[in-house]
Copies of this chain bind each other. A is one copy, B any other.
Amino acid sequence: MRLGIDIGGTKTDAVAVDDAGTLAHRVRLSTGFGSPAVVETTLTAITDVASLAGLAAADFESIGIGIPGVVDNRSGYVRHAVNLGFEELGLGDALAGRLGVGVRIENDVTAAAFGAYRLLGIESSMAYLNLGTGIAAGIVIDGKLWRGARGTAGEIGHIPVDPNGELCPCGQRGCLETVASGSSIARAWITDDPHPALALFDAADEGDSKAVAIRSRLATGVASAVRLLILTMDVETVVIGGGLSHLGDRLLGDVGAVLSSWAESSTFLASLELTSRVRLVPEGRPVAAIGAALVGGA
């Protein structure tokens, strides 16, 4: 049995996964804010899942944590976890000190990439395209996570796609993140709706011309990300996950329509069969927590 935790900005997801990779137990908690609270939330989550599984922490084959921040997966050190309220935290050491066993720390998108890879039974290469507040990818090549030479592989959100585009908070102009992310929708479509992307899609369906334009820009941006990932790395499959993936087939349909229209004007793009290489992460499955559990053995 392996234990995995996905520490999100509001919720922490904790799972136990059996030797076949099947989800055995699951717990959800609210995530505390700031480094001491995040450590306590994580310890509580581990204790709760261990209790459900009837095991002690030390009895698990591995414990892995996915967290939104810049992670050194060798030292377990986490930096820039802005949404969790801390700038630096030796999370691996903090948890190991309290639990008495080693813990593997991964970036949350990286963990989700490995979870999606295993859940979907993909055997070739894959990029996991996370559409959340930002946009970034996790990469699996030859059955292994490719984190990059400095741990920043998949940071495609800050690749500019339009020299005359919007100014990005990163200091560049026209980054993918300015057209294909939750934050880009939030800036363009002001609403009190708790599900702004859903509200946007509904308004577009009702013919609101501004909503149609924003939705269209999102589809083009996500399609651009898919093209970029496949042309650069030639991964066989791009799996779309993250908050915006809850838009489901409405999003996938939009993106597929853009990719198909490109293929009509470019035989080169048509030969790459991009449309058929994109899919959604399975709805309602805790891919990041499952990935965190499994990556301990990867």
Given known pairs A158-B269, A160-B161, the reply for A234 and B172 (CB within 8 Å) is no
Interface residues on A, range: 35 or more
Binding-face segment, A61-69, A98-106, A162-170, A200-208: A162-170
| Inter-chain contact B156/A231, CB cutoff 8 Å | yes
Residues in B neighbouring A147, C-beta threshold 8 A: 234
Given known pairs A141-B146, A161-B161, A171-B265, the reply for A233 and B272 (CB within 8 Å) is no
Compute how far the CA of A152 lies from the CA of B234 in the bound complex, rounded to whole angstroms.
6
Number of copies: 2
Given known pairs A141-B141, A170-B266, A233-B232, the reply for A161 and B158 (CB within 8 Å) is no
| Inter-chain contact B267/A158, CB cutoff 8 Å | no
Residues in B neighbouring A163, C-beta threshold 8 A: 161-162
Compute how far the CA of A269 lies from the CA of B149 in the bound complex, rounded to whole angstroms.
16
| Inter-chain contact A234/B158, CB cutoff 8 Å | no
Partner of A269, one of B141, B170, B231, B235: B170
A171-B265, A171-B268, A171-B269 known; 7 new pairs, CB 8 Å cut-off, are A151-B234, A152-B231, A160-B161, A162-B163, A170-B269, A172-B265, A172-B266
A→B interface (CB under 8 Å) = 124-125, 137, 139, 141, 146-156, 158-164, 170-172, 224, 227-229, 231-236, 262, 265-269, 272
